[in-house]
Amino acid sequence: MNRRENHAPQGETTWIVIEFLEVAITAIVFLKGVYPSGAFERRRYLNMVVQRARHPQLRYYIHAAVSGLAPYLGQGMVERVAVVFFSADNVPLEKFVFKLAMNQSYDSKVEQMDLESSLRSFLVKLSVSNSLTKDLPQDIRWEITGYFKSLPTGGTNKEAELWIPTDTELWQQPPLITPIRSMSSESLCLQLYLEHPSL
């Protein structure tokens, strides 16, 4: 990112959202019990206790995937970011979806405190969402998937190059959708919902 972008409201919002997504995705993986709880450590974020992956590879995957979105997010190219859980035979079981719309014409100063307190409410909701999600089988795998409005051309940094195209069709039938939390402000609209098979 160059200096100018860094100082544009979209740049500011982007980095707040990136940091939030990193924490929120970790919270989801923690919530689903994919790894033993010892794989996480507690830290503070937005004045609340959250989890952070202790395992370097896990932490790097989440961090790199999310930071790699930054250039695209700032340009409004990213529509959704999902955490998808698959069974051992690659059948999607659940999908946590962050649907994002960053206001490209927003030109005022971002009210960071307001934005962060809205984002914080997503984490609070997630931390009490156990009942929302069914128990997953033992050997599942998961991944972070981004949905782009247009295909990015060429990576602009090392992390951006981690994003590779995929044409995975996720659901055989329209999924059931459970809203978890949403916010809407002039600079950013964000929804978090859960998709699962309609069985």
Ligand X SMILES: *[C@@H]1O[C@H](CO)[C@@H](O)[C@H](O)[C@H]1NC(C)=O
Residues lying near ligand X in the complex (CB under 6 A) = 103, 105-108, 186
Which residues is 82 bridged to in the sheet? 97, 145
Nearer to ligand X, 103 or 121 (CB): 103
DSSP label of 164: -
Q: Is the dihedral of CA 39, 127, 170, 188 positive or negative?
A: negative
- CB 71 → ligand X: shortest distance, Å? 21
Residue among 161 and 186 whose Cβ is closer to ligand X: 186
Nearer to ligand X, 111 or 186 (CB): 186
In the complex with ligand X, which residue's Cβ is closer, 106 or 148?
Answer: 106
**Residue among 76 and 197 whose Cβ is closer to ligand X:** 76
Least distance from ligand X to the Cβ atom of residue 113, Å:
18
DSSP 97-115: EEEEEE-TT--S---HHHH
Distance, CA of 31 to CA of 133 (rounded, Å)? 9
Q: Compute the least distance from the CB of residue 11 to ligand X, in Å.
A: 15
Nearest distance from residue 103's CB to ligand X, in Å?
4
CB of 177 to ligand X, least distance (A): 22
Which of 41, 187, 194, 22 is closest to 118 using CA atoms? 187
DSSP state of 131: G
Q: Give me the residues paired with residue 196 across strands.
A: 176
